[in-house]
């Protein structure tokens, strides 16, 4: 049986990395172009010199996809450890009228700042980030911060 001290020397906090597009304008442009392409339907040329408008739209879609990829940022989250996470939860108790383990308005930004290690975020930077991204992106960031701390590390099937 392995020695617990040897196992503890090899242990490390769980980490999760996600990619998030921070350029909402580029994402919106891509969605609009894809919708426009979907609405073209069956194109029929009226002369031999006409070019299918789907070709030009597809080129614009490819360029927009590239802009979205270039604007995507990797966020790496690291688990705080059981005690530190419990202390953070305790520092943000839920109001009496709420049936939640924490005050979402204060805890979620705090856990983002505490466990996002790349890029490193201060509480003020988290506030600025949350002022820019939409609710869906904020939920992905929050869910990742929660899951890296609350879910066990997966063990792949062998």
Using CA of residue 108, residue 110, residue 115, residue 119, what is the dihedral sign? Answer: positive
Provide the β-strand partners of residue 11. none
- Is residue 126 within 8 A of residue 109, CB to CB? The reply is yes
Q: How large is the average pLDDT for residues 104-114?
A: 95
pLDDT on residue 158: 59
Instruction: Please check the confidence at residue 40 and state whether its pLDDT lies above 90.
Output: no
The 10s digit of each residue's pLDDT in 46-94 is: 777 777 777 888 888 888 888 888 889 999 999 999 999 999 999 999 9
Q: 113 φ, ψ to 5°?
A: -65, -35
* Rounded Cα gap, residues 118 and 76, in angstroms: 5
* Cα-based distances in Å from 94 to 103, 113, 115, 150, 154: 4, 19, 20, 18, 30
């Amino acid at each position: 049986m392995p020695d617990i001290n040897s196992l503890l020397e090899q242990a490390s906090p769980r980490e999760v990395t996600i990619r998030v597009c921070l350029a909402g304008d580029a994402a919106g442009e891509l969605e609009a172009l894809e919708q426009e392409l979907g609405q073209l339907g069956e194109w029929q040329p009226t002369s031999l010199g006409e070019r299918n408008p789907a070709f030009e739209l597809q080129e614009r879609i490819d360029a927009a996809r590239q802009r979205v990829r270039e604007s995507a940022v990797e966020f790496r989250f690291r688990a705080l450890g059981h005690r530190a996470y419990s202390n953070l939860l305790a520092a943000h108790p839920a109001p009496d009228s709420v049936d939640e383990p924490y005050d979402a308005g204060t805890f979620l930004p705090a856990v983002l700042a505490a466990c996002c290690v790349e890029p490193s975020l201060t509480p003020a930077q988290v506030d600025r980030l949350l002022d820019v991204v939409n609710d869906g992106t904020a939920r992905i960031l929050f869910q990742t911060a929660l899951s890296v701390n609350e879910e066990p590390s997966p063990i792949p099937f062998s």
